[in-house]
Every structure is written in structure tokens, then in C-alpha cells.
Amino acid sequence: MGKRNKAVGSNAEVISNASPIIINGEMIGAVVVFQDITEVLRLTEELQRSTSVINGLRDEIIKLSEGRGRFDDIICESSKMKNIINLARKAAREDSTILITGESGTGKEIFANAIHAESPRAGKPFIKVNCAAIPENLLESELFGYEAGAFTGASKLKLGKFELASGGTIFLDEIGDMSPMLQAKLLRVIQEREIERIGGNKPIKIDVRIISATNRDLLALIGSGAFREDLYFRLNVININIPPLRERREDIPALTRVYIEHFNRKFQKNIKGVTEKAKDMLLSYDWPGNVRELMNILERTILMSQGEWITDDLLRPYFDQVKIKSSSRDAIMPLEEMEKDLIMRALKEFGSSVEGKRKAAEALKISLATLYNKIKKYGIR
């Protein structure tokens, strides 16, 4: 082993290694090799400094991304939801890839947060990417990052969300809206467990759990060629399907109670609850916007209310509006709107599964491909 000291007559840190020269059993001298390690020591120090900066930043990422949502925050009374929470809790502990499906506003994001918070990866980053909100070329660099100089304007290295999520979970929201090009890249990432930064030339190993979510019918998207079947199977290792609120009406009173407390605090009100008639109204409504819609209606009525109880009179304006919208089909309207309305009614009647769409197309006397085109054109979900 060498000895670390300063070289005589200089400031350089050196390692010296001395070996004796022995001839005929007699030591006649020694060879000493000096190795200048000043630079190595400087770099080591610099590396330590950088590492501590990185660790500090990583802690910040974790703090910023700390899930707003645990299983305890999910309000439910229905056995349907309780079963799903049980399934999700079990799945959380494993490292398997999870696909969360369900209509808009059913709580997919809360579930994703809760799964991460109850997984062995809790305490590591939870990074959300909304695949629908970001244009394709930007989404690629969001996900995979780029090297400095990868393209004009790329002056600094940018880490992608997969690298930021290192050790933790990446949540790919609205996965059904991802472009085919990125679907192919994502598939490769899942298969190889490595990514490549844009403009980079070496793959980087990643250790990230993938949770994805969508309110779109992925099987129908596969049917119309908009979503890759092989990617679907990779993402859908465990499926958590959250039923719409109208299929678990027992949850409505519990949600109402908790949200009244919440908005009482927020607006400094003292609402005691809902009247019987108002409760009936809440229970019989169809809730196309699910929990988010219930929350919004309660927020508005509580903000506007003067008294202590939420009455049917306070709720009626909102539900009437919805009714007016759906009965306006009797009025004269642009043909396109009429077409959209008819398609939506057909889908409501037959369901939005592939089979349902086939029947809907039949009833409308158009081809299945035309139906898909029109669904896309009118943005029907």
C-alpha cells in the first residue's frame, strides 16, 4: 500500500510506493515511485460537492412530488370501492406495472398517488406526466430528456421524467392520448428497462415503477389502430378500474358530508348538511362528471348559500341546466351538433365497448370506421 504525502520541494500530493532492491540477500537500495494525485483529490472533492448538491435536489424533488393522496383520503362507503381499494393496496406493495381506468373525475389520480405512497418506493419521487397536455415533440424530451447540443436551443442537459423518477414511480396520465411514435418508444423503455436521452448515444438504466391512467377505452383505441396492443399488455399487468359514481351511489352521502366540512372550512361557512329533498336529488342524478362534478356543485352551492342547509332549491339551478342541455335536442340545431348528439345517445344506449360501438354503428347505419372517425372529430369520450 502506498503512503500519501507531499513531494519534497513541491505542493503536489503524491502517493509513494517504495520497494527495496535486494541482491544476494542484501538490500542495496530502493526504488520509490511517486504518483501525483493532486488532480485526483481535487476531482474527488468536487465530486463530493456535486453529489451533495444532487442529493439535496433529489430531496427537493421528493418533497415537491410528495403525493397529495393516500388510501385514507379516498372516501367510500360502497363495497365496490372498498374491494378496489383492497386490490390497489395489495398491488401497491408489489412492483408491478398498473393501469388505472375509469371515467373522468372518478379518482384515478388519487389512486395513483395512494399506490405510490403505500409502496416500498414511498419516499422516492412520484413524477406525473400528462401525456395529453403536451405536444408530441415536447413530450419526448419531457420523458427522456436531452443532451446539451442535441438540437438548436438545447444548451444544457435536461433530465427526463424517467430519470427524475429514479427509484420512484412515474405516473403516465392520459396514456390513451400518447402518439404512436412515443408509444413505440415507451414500449422499448419498458422492455429494455433503459432510456436514451435525445441526442445521447448510450442507454441509461432506469429503475422506475410505471403507473398509467386513462379515461379512454383503450380496447376501442386498439381496435381503431390508435393504440398499440403490445404496449397495452405491458401497461395493463394489473388493472384497477374505478366505477363511475352512478354505479356506487352509497358513496354520495359520504362524499357530500366530507366536502361540506371541507368547504365550510374554506369559505368559513356553517352548513349543517343537505335536506331530504336535496339528498334525493343528489342520489338520483347520473353524475357524468363523477366525484369532481359533485365536488364542484357542492363548492358552488356552499359558496352561494345563506342558510345552514343545502336545499333542493339551491341545487335545482344546476340540475335544470343539465336537463335543458339534454332536452334541447327538440330545438333546431346545427346538423353537426345533431349528429354528435345522436352518436352520444347511441353510445350511451349500447355502451362504449368495441361490441357496443359495433351495435351503435349498426343502429346509426354507418360503418364502424366512420363511427370512430366521428367520435374523434367530435371529441366524444
The DSSP code for 123 is: T
d(CA 365, CA 343): 11
| Shortest CB 295 distance to ligand ATP, Å | 5
Rule CB under 6 A: choose which of 35, 78, 97, 104 binds ligand ATP: 104
What is the per-residue binding string for Mg ion in 215-254, x denoting contact by CB under 5 A? ----------------------------------------
Contact between 105 and ligand ATP by CB under 6 A: the answer reads: yes
One-letter amino acid for residue 279 of the chain: K
Binding partner of 62, given ligand ATP, Mg ion, none, CB within 5-8 angstroms per partner class = none
User: What nine digits make up the cell of 162?
Assistant: 424517467
d(CA 56, CA 59): 5
| Shortest CB 210 distance to Mg ion, Å | 16
Within 102-121, the residues that bind Mg ion by CB under 5 A are 108-109
- Cβ-based nearer residue to ligand ATP, 92 or 195: 92
Binding partner of 164, given Mg ion, ligand ATP, none, CB within 5-8 angstroms per partner class = none
CA atoms within 13 A on the CB side of 361: 17
| Shortest CB 75 distance to Mg ion, Å | 17
Binding partner of 301, given Mg ion, ligand ATP, none, CB within 5-8 angstroms per partner class = none
**3-class SS at 128?**
strand
Q: Is 213 in contact with 174 (CB distance < 8 Å)?
A: yes
Rule CB under 6 A: choose which of 88, 109, 208, 371 binds ligand ATP: 109
- Cβ-based nearer residue to ligand ATP, 189 or 297: 297
Contact between 110 and ligand ATP by CB under 6 A: the answer reads: yes
Q: How far is C-alpha 79 from the chain's CA centre?
A: 26
Alpha carbon distances (Å) from 286 to 153, 169, 248, 323: 49, 34, 11, 11
What is the per-residue binding string for Mg ion in 63-82, x denoting contact by CB under 5 A? --------------------
Contact between 76 and ligand ATP by CB under 6 A: the answer reads: yes
Choices 73-81, 144-152, 221-229, 358-366; region in contact with ligand ATP by CB under 6 A? 73-81
Binding partner of 97, given Mg ion, ligand ATP, none, CB within 5-8 angstroms per partner class = none
User: What nine digits make up the cell of 292?
Assistant: 369532481
| Shortest CB 297 distance to ligand ATP, Å | 12
Contact between 215 and ligand ATP by CB under 6 A: the answer reads: yes
Q: Is 277 in contact with 136 (CB distance < 8 Å)?
A: no
Rg (CA), the chain: 30
Contact between 75 and ligand ATP by CB under 6 A: the answer reads: yes
- Cβ-based nearer residue to ligand ATP, 35 or 264: 264
Q: Which residue is nearest to Mg ion (CB)?
A: 109
Contact between 102 and ligand ATP by CB under 6 A: the answer reads: yes
User: What nine digits make up the cell of 157?
Assistant: 442537459
Size of the site for ligand ATP (CB under 6 A): 15
129 sits in which H/E element:
strand 126-130
Binding partner of 160, given ligand ATP, Mg ion, none, CB within 5-8 angstroms per partner class = none
d(CA 72, CA 85): 10
d(CA 28, CA 50): 48
Contact between 223 and ligand ATP by CB under 6 A: the answer reads: no
Question: How many C-beta atoms surround the C-beta of residue 222 within 10 A?
Answer: 16
Helices (H), the chain: 38-65, 79-93, 108-117, 136-144, 161-164, 180-192, 218-223, 229-235, 251-267, 276-284, 290-304, 312-327, 335-350, 354-364, 368-377
| Residue ranges that bind ligand ATP, judged by CB under 6 A | 74-76, 102, 104-110, 215, 291-292, 295
